[in-house]
Amino acid sequence: MNNRLYIFDTTLRDGEQVPGCQLNTVEKIQVARQLEKLGVDVIEAGFPISSPGDFNSVIEISKAVTWPTICALTRAVEKDIDCAAEALQYAKHKRIHTGIGTSDMHIRYKFNSTRKEIIERAVAAVKYAKRYVEDVEFYAEDAGRTDNEYLAQVVEAVIKAGATVVNIPDTTGYCLPSEYGAKIKYLMEHVDGIDKAILSTHCHNDLGMATACTLEGVLNGARQVEVTINGIGERAGNTSEEEIAMILKCHAHLGIETNINTQRIAATSRMVSSLMNMPVQPNKAIVGRNAFAHSSGIHQDGVLKNVQTYEIIDPKDIGIDDNAIILTARSGHAALKHRLEVHGIELDEERLDQVYEEFLRLADKKKEVTDDDILMLAGADRAESRNIKIVNLQVTGGVGIRPVAAITLDIAGEQFSAAAEGNGPVDAAINALKQIIRRKMTLKEFTIQAINRGSDDVGKVHMQVEHEGHLYYGFGASTDIIAASVEAYVDCINKFRKTSH
């Protein structure tokens, strides 16, 4: 059996379904270019019929990257497939990913249909997609809960109809790794014509087993894995790309090869986290900030004597360079440009000048400016196109004093000021802001995170605000956590203003 494993990256489709983490087309192109450098084989760029934004992103990503295959998702519906084919028109290598639910639960409750009819619809969709592209992938949604005998009939029928790849999603993240591996084995052994297609894994992490299931799938014959950077995705997310890549690297004896350049993993992880405003949990395998931090005395002692005593991965293998240049107020344009380029960010001269100015302001407040800081600065231009901006904010507070805040906002060019008290400085600032923006809104979630260490560090704030039954996510970053909190709140408001007009 061929031991080349294809990496199908769905960060920009399944990953991007995380509420509040949507990217605009420019940001998606930036991620797609980085994925190309990382070496993924397929980029699932979107679900074109779902929105004009997704349609446009598939078009622009198709123009921006050349090496990976660009894939577009559809339901088993002709108009979806027509739309996907149109969106893929500029892709050098293109794939349509079509499919339908195959579990009895989906057949009965979602489609009010029968097993026979579902096979007919699956075959028709594959044949229809084949009119546009040679490379057609079929997904059997909820295959994790589909009985193996029926699943084999579906897989056999779609391969006969021309599917080049067949995706076996564990849509609900239900399967045990052994069960999922046995499912792939069953299909490898019972489907006539299985040698004409590649089986693909697509595992969700609801029970924390996505990586284990994916690995079992590969060990039993799947030769494509559908994964996302940082394991992002709806609910508990998808299989994490960096985990699969590093498992196969650390266990080279398995003999399974990918095209991933693992040294690009850390940069890609940071880019996705920063553009999506989605922090990576500190203890996340491979890319969490504690993944290589040894704190117990026994471990530190062992690592100092020989790193391999407690470390199975060399941080350099994922692109973490202890000797990376730390930027300070004395660093020039070229050093900043270089660090940004290491992270796949190329800015035009004008934007680089702006980021450099912001960098100098930050370097005045902090001794050392880290890669996370400059990624945050490079992403900050999104705030400039927003309708509401903070002009100034003054807060007084302390022990034994009732906190008071005064704020001035610029709303579409006009300035408004207000002042209010609160039970803390953030509460006072938000109360003042609410005096200007008189909408019913409730703060649902509020997290503050320091990027590195030290009291001079930049604080990142993530907020969720509910307005008219919808949740909006906002982000702010500053060395002043009250300013960062208000920025995050304003970021939420800017989003719901846009959606409701």
Which spans of this chain sit near Zn ion (rule: CB under 5 A)?
Answer: 14
DSSP 3-state assignment of 165?
Answer: strand
Report if residue 319 touches ligand KIV, rule: CB under 6 A: no
Residue 222's contacts (CB-CB under 8 Å, 6 or more residues apart) are 168, 184, 198, 199, 200, 201, 214
Rg of the chain on CA atoms, in Å: 25
Place of tokens 């088993």: 76
CA distances 16 to 10, 65, 200, 276, 279, Å, are 8, 19, 20, 8, 14
Contact segment (CB under 6 A) with ligand KIV among 19-27, 103-111, 165-173, 425-433 equals 165-173
Closest CB to Zn ion among residues 9, 487: 9
Pick one of ligand KIV, Zn ion, none as the site partner of residue 139 (Cβ within 5 to 8 A by kind). ligand KIV
Closest CB to ligand KIV among residues 140, 267: 140
Pick one of Zn ion, ligand KIV, none as the site partner of residue 180 (Cβ within 5 to 8 A by kind). none
CB 236 within 8 A of CB 204: yes
Spell out the alpha helix ranges (H) of 258-411: 265-275, 297-305, 333-342, 349-365, 371-379
| Amino acid, single-letter form, for residue 85 | A
In the complex, the smallest distance separating the C-beta of residue 281 from ligand KIV, rounded to whole angstroms, is 22
In the complex, the smallest distance separating the C-beta of residue 228 from ligand KIV, rounded to whole angstroms, is 11
Closest CB to ligand KIV among residues 81, 377: 81
CB 374 within 8 A of CB 355: yes
Phi, psi at residue 170, to the nearest 5°? Answer: -95, 75
d(CA 306, CA 185) in angstroms, rounded, equals 41
Report if residue 169 touches ligand KIV, rule: CB under 6 A: yes
Closest CB to ligand KIV among residues 169, 279: 169
User: Of the candidates 11, 30, 171, 240, which one interacts with ligand KIV according to CB under 6 A?
Assistant: 171
Q: Edge-to-edge strands of the sheet including 470-478?
A: 442-450, 459-467, 470-478
Classify burial at 418, counting beta carbons within 10 Å of its beta carbon; exposed 0-12, middle 13-18, buried 19 or more: middle
In the complex, the smallest distance separating the C-beta of residue 102 from ligand KIV, rounded to whole angstroms, is 10
DSSP annotation of 281? P
**Residue 88's closest CA among 25, 44, 23, 51?**
44
Phi, psi at residue 322, to the nearest 5°? Answer: -60, -25
Contact segment (CB under 6 A) with ligand KIV among 76-84, 166-174, 404-412, 461-469 equals 166-174
Closest CB to ligand KIV among residues 74, 268: 74
Binding mask 364-383 for ligand KIV (x = CB under 6 A): --------------------
Size of the site for ligand KIV (CB under 6 A): 8
d(CA 272, CA 274) in angstroms, rounded, equals 5
Pick one of Zn ion, ligand KIV, none as the site partner of residue 141 (Cβ within 5 to 8 A by kind). ligand KIV
d(CA 80, CA 48) in angstroms, rounded, equals 8
Closest CB to ligand KIV among residues 205, 262: 205
DSSP annotation of 446? E
d(CA 233, CA 231) in angstroms, rounded, equals 7
Report if residue 473 touches ligand KIV, rule: CB under 6 A: no
d(CA 411, CA 440) in angstroms, rounded, equals 18
Residues 200-219, interacting with ligand KIV (CB under 6 A): 202, 204
Pick one of Zn ion, ligand KIV, none as the site partner of residue 268 (Cβ within 5 to 8 A by kind). none
Closest CB to ligand KIV among residues 55, 139: 139
Residues 8-47, interacting with ligand KIV (CB under 6 A): 14
Residues 99-158, interacting with ligand KIV (CB under 6 A): 139, 141
DSSP 3-state assignment of 474?
Answer: strand
In the complex, the smallest distance separating the C-beta of residue 143 from ligand KIV, rounded to whole angstroms, is 8
Closest CB to ligand KIV among residues 167, 230: 167
In the complex, the smallest distance separating the C-beta of residue 104 from Zn ion, rounded to whole angstroms, is 19
Closest CB to ligand KIV among residues 141, 373: 141
In the complex, the smallest distance separating the C-beta of residue 44 from Zn ion, rounded to whole angstroms, is 10
In the complex, the smallest distance separating the C-beta of residue 232 from Zn ion, rounded to whole angstroms, is 12
Closest CB to Zn ion among residues 14, 242: 14
In the complex, the smallest distance separating the C-beta of residue 500 from Zn ion, rounded to whole angstroms, is 29
Q: Edge-to-edge strands of the sheet including 388-396?
A: 388-396, 404-411, 414-421
Contact segment (CB under 6 A) with ligand KIV among 164-172, 304-312, 391-399, 447-455 equals 164-172
Q: 371-379 vs 333-342: helix axis angle to the nearest 10?
A: 90
In the complex, the smallest distance separating the C-beta of residue 156 from Zn ion, rounded to whole angstroms, is 23
User: H or E element: which one contains 219?
Assistant: helix 210-219
In the complex, the smallest distance separating the C-beta of residue 99 from ligand KIV, rounded to whole angstroms, is 6
What's the start-to-end Cα distance of the chain, in Å?
56
In the complex, the smallest distance separating the C-beta of residue 10 from Zn ion, rounded to whole angstroms, is 7
Residues of the shown chain interacting with ligand KIV in the complex, contacts defined by CB under 6 A: 14, 139, 141, 167, 169, 171, 202, 204
